[in-house]
Amino acid sequence: MEENKVTIKVNDNGSLRVTGQVELVDAEGNPFEHKESFSLCRCGASGNKPFCDGTHKSINFVSAPRAKKD
């Protein structure tokens, strides 16, 4: 794996876990403060968008996509 490669993991029934050197900006280009690894809301119910706050568990969000294998 490349040292500076960004990885986004689609967690089953939950968030998008982002790891690596990446800048997260709003629609106006202003940066959000975040750590090197952070989770983005995928369910739409977070009270702290764009970040995941764990609400996906209480709404029983269900989504577990898998990438196609070669």
Query: What is the contact surface with ligand FES in residues (CB under 6 A)?
Result: 14-15, 41-43, 45-46, 52-56
Q: Helix, strand or coil for residue 62?
A: coil
Give the C-alpha separation, 49 to 1, whole Å: 30
Of 47 and 70, the one with the shorter C-beta distance to ligand FES is 47
Instruction: Output the smallest distance, CB 63 to ligand FES, in A.
Output: 9
Nearest to 12 by CA among 68, 67, 63, 69: 63
Instruction: Output the smallest distance, CB 16 to ligand FES, in A.
Output: 8
Of 30 and 60, the one with the shorter C-beta distance to ligand FES is 60
Of 1 and 56, the one with the shorter C-beta distance to ligand FES is 56
Token digits for 6? 């960004």
- Length of the chain equals 70
